Amino acid sequence: MEPIVSVSHVKKSYQKRKDKTVVKAVDDISFQVHKGEIVGLLGPNGAGKTTTIKMICGLLKPNQGTIKIQGLDNSKHRLKSLKHISAVLEGNRNLYWRLTVRENLEYFAGNRGKSKKQVKDQIDYLLELFHLKMKEHELVNRLSRGMQQKLAIAVAMLADTEVILLDEPTLGLDVETSYEVRDILKKIVRDEARTIIISSHDMAVIQAVCERVIIVNNGKIVTDNRVEDLIALFDARQYTITLGQPLIHRQITQLKACFSNFEYESEQLKPKLVVELLSAEQIYQVFDILKKNETPVEDINRNTINFEQVFIKIIKGETGHANHSSLSSKSSKASN
Ligand SMILES: Nc1ncnc2c1ncn2[C@@H]1O[C@H](COP(=O)(O)OP(=O)(O)OP(=O)(O)O)[C@@H](O)[C@H]1O
Ligand SMILES: [Mg+2]
């Protein structure tokens, strides 16, 4: 099946006005998105997320590489390819401030060639979904930031395009509204066959909504994988072992030699060690070393890891046993 969005060796640099230095905002990025996929573009500030989104929706031209939407190069067949895309960009809410909520929805549907009558039911549905029904006759400039953001996403939904791009959909929203937007996106993902690319630096949003995540840093893709596989990759083999007595020096040296991520805390009432195993069998190696001095084991806990920790490990290049090649091989699986 042909991907609906195909980004191939794309580069984009900016020249800073002040000192003329060149910033490689996007540095040779390639990925493909298939119909119905919900993909997160996750990365810290300045990673290149907005630049990537803007290039996909044709607002910026890459210096190199190609972007195809439904097989059409978006710089050669701009209008035709962009017909398949709607986007909500960070900061730019694509709304008319002097129109009401309902009028905005009707206006933008009209831009896509649909009459008020045609979209009435859909608008009613969206107003309910986004909890904006009681504000339908309110002017947009009187809405809170969260409501404006919800309306902007509703406008993008109404466009009925196959692909929706959302740049930082929860940025600047309070916790409650952020949760609300997250829940609405989850519902859209569940109920509608849309292809959605969401950029965010908020891991919770990506984890809650996306099946697949592309992590970007310094303009490059660090990993492209299924969210659950990424967590499993790091989750599986980190253990905290509580001991009945402190380790002796020789044991610490041996554990350090075997496990690069070995941590030991002896100051507490009960000494604790944390090991990350390369394979499940390695737990026996830990026990062998403990047994040498008959160190009592009081408790063993398999640690759970959250997506935030996975993200930090990947960004820091601390992929541990999950080395980069295993991450990339999963990525090709994810994008096939
Ligand atoms: N118009 C511009 N002129 C110069 N440099 C720019 C411009 N736009 C972006 N950059 C630089 O390009 C890099 C990537 O920026 P981009 O906005 O794509 O990152 P981002 O991942 O969206 O970050 P954030 O999480 O802060 O939104 C950054 O170093 C940024 O400073
Ligand atoms: Mg951005």
pLDDT digit string, tens, across residues 244-299: 999 999 999 999 999 878 999 988 789 999 998 877 788 899 999 999 999 999 99
Domain limits, the chain: 5-225, 226-308+316-336
pLDDT-based confidence at 319, cuts 50/70/90?
low
Q: Whose CA is nearest to atom 11 of ligand 1?
A: 25
Q: DSSP string spanning 224-258?
A: EEEHHHHHHHHHTTEEEEEESSPPPHHHHHHHHHH
Ligand nearest to the CA of 202: 1
- 333: pLDDT strictly greater than 60: no
Give every strand in the sheet of 163-167, ordered side by side: 85-88, 163-167, 195-200, 38-42, 212-217, 220-226
Residues having CB within 6 Å of any atom of ligand 1? 14, 16, 23, 25, 43, 45-51, 201
Q: Which atom of ligand 1 is nearest to the CA of 168?
A: 27
Centroid of ligand 1 to alpha carbon of 46 (angstroms): 5
Whether residue 307 is predicted with pLDDT greater than 50 in this model: the reply is yes
Type and span of the H or E element at 33: strand 22-33
Q: What's the gap in Å between 158 CA and the centre of ligand 1? A: 29
Residue with the smallest CA separation from ligand 1 atom 26 is 45
Ligand number nearest CA of 19 is 1
pLDDT at 325: 35
What is the whole-number distance in angstroms between the Cα of residue 46 and the centre of ligand 2?
Answer: 7
* CATH annotation of 5-225: 3.40.50.300
Residue 48 CA: which ligand 1 atom is closest?
Answer: 18
Task: Spell out the alpha helix ranges (H) of the chain.
Answer: 49-56, 78-82, 101-111, 116-129, 145-158, 175-191, 203-209, 227-235, 249-258, 282-292, 307-315, 324-335
The whole-number average pLDDT for the span 198-214 is 90
Q: How many residues does the chain have?
A: 336
- The C-alpha atoms of residue 239 and residue 236 are separated, in whole angstroms, by 9
DSSP secondary structure letters along 200-222: ES-HHHHHHH-SEEEEEETTEEE
46: DSSP letter: T
How many angstroms separate the CA atoms of 63 and 52, rounded?
A: 12
Q: Which of 173, 186, 199 is nearest to 57 (CA)?
A: 199
Classify domain 226-308+316-336 at the CATH superfamily level.
ACT-like. Chain A, domain 2 (3.30.70.1150)
> In this predicted structure, which of 60-69, 81-90, 122-131, 233-242 has the lowest mean pLDDT?
233-242
Residue nearest to atom 12 of ligand 1 (CA): 25
Convert the pLDDT of each residue in 30-60 to its tens digit. Answer: 999 999 999 999 988 899 999 999 999 999 9
Q: What is the pLDDT of residues 98-149, one digit of tens each?
A: 999 999 999 999 988 889 999 999 999 999 999 999 999 999 999 998 999 9
Read off the DSSP letter of residue 303: P
Is the C-alpha dihedral spanning 101, 53, 224, 84 positive or negative? positive
Q: If you measure from the C-alpha of residue 25 to the centroid of ligand 1, how many angstroms do you get, rounded to a whole number?
A: 6
CA 235 to CA 229: how far, in whole Å?
A: 9
Cβ–Cβ under 8 Å, residues 29 and 52: yes
Closest to 145 (Cα-Cα) out of 168, 123, 171, 182: 171
